[in-house]
Chain A
Amino acid sequence: MRLFYFSILILSTIIAHAGVVEITKGLAFVKVKENGKTIRIQRNQNKDNYLNNTFALTSRPSPPFFIEPFSINDDIETYGELEVLDFISKEKGIFIDARLSNWYKQSAIPSAVNIPFKIFLSDTDERTKILESFGGKKTKDDWDFSNAKTLLFYCNGAWCGQSPTAINALIEIGYPEDKMKYYRGGMQSWQLLGLTTIVPNGGK
């Protein structure tokens, strides 16, 4: 009788495990830092979870929304979710949410800093400060980015031009292309995989 209960226990563990949605085999979650706290990024385990928020919308009006090419150019790597998770969990550089702040405030990928793409478009004190925080050094009338950090950008998804615009603006200033990465899937692919999002600062 005891054996019977025991086998049921084992069986139910196997069944429960079989129903787990992992990132990849053996990797259930990764830890990242968000606003001083550690957050676990994992996939939604609810069997009946369907994407039904605004990111389930299929047809954003054009202009301004068009489907972005897979890559920005041959030198800027496009990332998928696994590459993003590796980058942010190992803190390989700065993870930038390039969307306007009204988008960011509603929901974002944990550990991202919001630097709206518009900031990169014109030479302002604000931009100078940000580029310095990336490790850039302002010379006479140019920039030295030889010690600059690697940047990973994302925005709303395949139909969002905000991160490509930010990256293109930085190419023009001379930011090294091998130090910029593009997560094209963005918020839409992230959520379609059931990955964890946050409401930054509790929406404030």
Chain B
Amino acid sequence: MKSLILLLISISYIVAGQYDKVKITPDMAYIYVYHKGKAVKVHREQDTKHKLTGEYAKTYRPGKDIQPIKINDDVKTIGEVELLHFIKDKGNTGKGILIDLRTKDNYAKESIPSAINIPFRVKDNPEKISKVMQILGAKIANDGSWDTSEAMDIVFYCNGLWCDKSARFIKMFLELGYPAKKMLYYRGGFQMWKILGFTTVINK
């Protein structure tokens, strides 16, 4: 019995320190998030020699403008720390949702854990947008406009600093009446998520 307790204690030590070499913030080494019903531990790559390679290390992005730091004065831009707090406080409790606006293919390959995929081109399909609005908790009011009083908070992201999908989608949502206060913009996007060595999930 004693040895079993000792074993359990030592295991908990190993587990506790597992992501301490490269932490997220001083008080956060990892968090659990829910991705398609399963708990996923989000932490950072622990190999301090690890370099980002492949598509997201590429600098050549012809025709892709660098995006301004903010969309407008009312929609807040956030970074990774704020995103993780959002997922923990809102995402994990069903009050908020992380939306990946990249293509279906990009999302299938790899995404930020807990994100759902709404490809940007859905924007031009009113029927699908109407469905998306309802999934987010918006209701059609008597006068035909959207009642968003019960709608979820959203964080949007796309490929990165040079991707305009988030800004354009958020502007369209503003026009539909989705409140600016309920939308956040993770400008760093998938590229910054990758270069900081964060956990990703495959969606195949």
Contacts and interface: CB of A to CB of B under 8 A. Distances in A.
Contact of A22 (B65, B79, B196): B65
A18 interface: yes
Given A47-B60, A59-B48, A70 B77 contact: yes
A103 to B, nearest CB: 17
Given A59-B22, A59-B45, A80 B62 contact: no
Contact of A59 (B68, B161, B162, B197): B197
Interface string A177-204: 0000000110011011110000000000
A139 B188 CA distance: 43
Interface string B190-204: 011011110000000
A69 B79 contact: yes
B83 to A, nearest CB: 9
B78 interface: yes
A22 to B, nearest CB: 7
Interface stretch (B23-31, B96-104, B131-139): B23-31
A124 interface: no
Given A22-B65, A56-B51, A66-B23, A81 B60 contact: no
Contacts of A22: 63, 65
B62 A58 contact: no
A70 B62 contact: no
B21 A189 contact: no
Interface in B148-167: 160-162
B78 A70 contact: yes
Interface residues of B, number: 47
B47 to A, nearest CB: 6
Contact of A83 (B62, B63, B68): B68
B199 to A, nearest CB: 11
B53 A59 contact: no
Contacts of A158: 79-80, 188, 192, 196
B110 interface: no
B51 A189 contact: no
A43 interface: yes
B58 A60 contact: no
B61 interface: yes
Contacts of B58: 49-51
Contacts of B45: 58-59
A104 interface: no
Interface string A22-62: 11110000000000000000011111111110001111111
Contact of A82 (B22, B25, B68, B196): B68
A21 interface: yes
A14 to B, nearest CB: 12
Q: Of B46, B60, B78, which is in contact with the most chain A CB atoms at under 10 Å from its CB?
A: B60
B160 to A, nearest CB: 8
A67 B57 contact: no
A143 to B, nearest CB: 29
B22 A62 contact: yes
A80 B79 contact: no
Interface in B1-28: 20-26
Contacts of A79: 69
Nearest to B195: A58
A21 B63 CA distance: 6
Query: Which 4 A-B pairs have CB atoms at the shortest separation, nearest pair first?
Result: A58-B197, A194-B59, A80-B69, A70-B79
Given A62-B23, A80-B187, 20 more contacts: A20-B62, A21-B59, A21-B63, A46-B60, A47-B60, A48-B60, A49-B59, A63-B26, A66-B24, A67-B24, A69-B81, A70-B78, A80-B66, A82-B67, A82-B68, A83-B69, A158-B192, A193-B59, A194-B59, A194-B61
